[in-house]
């Protein structure tokens, strides 16, 4: 009979568990079922069953009016920079196009 290092009784000879190396899944679950994993102290988690919650509660009755209200509240802070940028951008493009052409008044007396 060969002597084996101490390990789990159900570990086959030559396995990682017998050699003291656990896989990540085995180390995380430690042989427990899903939903009955290790208890972590001082951490509180709350959950609600998917069968008890609604995916889009009050989406049309409260959601869309709330978006409109929030847009109205912040439009005066957001719109002026965009308007200023648009005016500067269009002015810059017009000025660039104007500067690419020669002034015809300078060449009226040429023959």
pLDDT at 100: 93
Q: What pLDDT score was predicted for residue 106?
A: 87
Cα–Cα distance measured from residue 60 to residue 66, given in angstroms and rounded to the nearest whole number: 10
Q: Is residue 17 part of a domain?
A: no
Domains of the chain: total: 1
Domain assignment of residue 71, yes or no = yes
Please give the backbone phi and psi of residue 34, each rounded to the nearest 5 degrees, phi first: -65, 135
Alpha helices by DSSP H, listed for the chain, are 24-29, 64-99
The tokens describing 71, both together, are 């847009």
The whole domain housing 52 covers 24-102
pLDDT of residue 92: 98
Average confidence (pLDDT) per 10 residues, the chain, 111 residues = 54 55 57 67 83 84 94 96 98 96 86 73
How far is it, in rounded angstroms, from Cα 56 to Cα 18? 51
- Residue pair 4/13 in contact (Cβ under 8 Å)? The answer is yes
Q: What is the CATH number of the domain that holds 65?
A: 1.20.5.210
């Amino acid at each position: 009979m060969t002597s084996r290092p101490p390990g789990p009784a159900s570990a086959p000879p030559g396995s990682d568990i017998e050699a003291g190396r656990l896989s990540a899944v085995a180390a995380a679950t430690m042989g427990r079922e899903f939903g009955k994993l290790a208890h972590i102290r001082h951490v509180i988690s709350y959950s609600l069953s998917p069968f008890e919650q609604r995916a889009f509660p009050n989406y049309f009755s409260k959601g869309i009016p709330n978006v409109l209200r929030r847009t109205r509240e912040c439009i005066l802070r957001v719109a002026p920079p965009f308007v200023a940028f648009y005016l500067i951008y269009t002015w810059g493009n017009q000025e660039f196009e104007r500067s690419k052409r020669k002034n015809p008044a300078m060449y009226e007396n040429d023959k």
